[in-house]
Amino acid sequence: MKKLLFLLFVILCSCQSNKKENPDPDTNSILQLPLDPYFADIRVNDIKLAEPVYGDWLYSRKEKGQSFEQFVKTKHIVPTAEKNIIYLQPIGEFSSLQTKQIELVRQYLQLFFQLETKVLDNLSNDIIPQKARRIGDMGQEQFLAGYILNDILKDEEPDKGVALMAITEMDLYPKPEWNYVFGLASYRDRIAVSSIHRMQKDADFNLSLERLLKICSHEIGHMFGLHHCIEANCVMNGTNSMTETDGHFIRLCSLCQRKLNSGFKYDNVKRLKDLEKYFKENNLEEGLALMKKDLEKLNNK
């Protein structure tokens, strides 16, 4: 009996040892690659997050962050030849300016993720039943974000779609006890919804556009495996309010850029130049300054 127990113990240890010594080959190869000088060069432009104050996302949430090694070892979506297009699904009745913003979001996401991005035909608000609507605390009509995810987007399978995000002009709420939410996503199902409604409050066209760009790139970033960033001021920071969103950079920090690029394999410098041109053409001064700062570091090597 003792010999049998000893044999079982040896077999168990052998299995555990094999698991440790034979990690996923793709993961292991990525981790063994030397750090691209690009990320080291732009890292000096990362700005450390300030200590959270009452009302901030991290004040009441003790998030642990996500290292590059953790990101690589965690299962996440990577674009393939079969699935490499981001889709936007407008839902509602949009003004001409809102329609323009959606097109500008499409252009931005295509540059941000270096993936083709398309806008699907509008769906009417009538697609939302009464059971998924309510009147909010300021008299505004709100849609249940989860209904849009599970009952509208989940069954959509656009050609070669790797991520699908709905955009609505109506306010959203995630569950009865919450007042509102800017957006909501199911990262496993690669679907999300964002609302323009609160982006426009006390904002001109450019500010509301900048807010929408931040929210949409943030949610889609989650779909591709990026957790909330706690390392630096970054578009992947968690946010509790529009004020906090406005204080976050539209830029991905160097660590989050490295994570994203590990699976996408796009040209980092081309991406920076594309974004610089976009910000310049659309008079978005903060984003333009951030891209110029990174490009200067690369040019002054």
Catalytic positions are 219
73 residue type, one letter? K
For the CA atoms of 118, 185, 221, 226, the dihedral, rounded to the nearest 10 degrees, stands at -160
Where are any strands of DSSP class E within 2-146? 85-91, 116-119, 133-135, 141-144
Neighbours of 90 (CB within 10 A): 19
> Where do we find the tokens 């793709």?
26
Residues 148 and 130 sit within 8 Å (Cβ to Cβ): no
CA distance linking residue 283 with residue 276, whole number of Å = 11
* CA distance readout (Å), 149 to 23, 129, 152, 166, 187: 35, 14, 6, 8, 11
- Element housing 194 (H / E): strand 191-195
Residues 127 and 235 sit within 8 Å (Cβ to Cβ): no
Structure tokens at 298: 């690369």
CA distance linking residue 197 with residue 50, whole number of Å = 28
Residues 86 and 165 sit within 8 Å (Cβ to Cβ): yes
Edge-to-edge strand order for the sheet containing 116-119?
116-119, 85-91, 161-168, 191-195, 183-186
CA distance linking residue 71 with residue 125, whole number of Å = 37
CA distance linking residue 214 with residue 145, whole number of Å = 18
Residues in a beta bridge with 186: 191
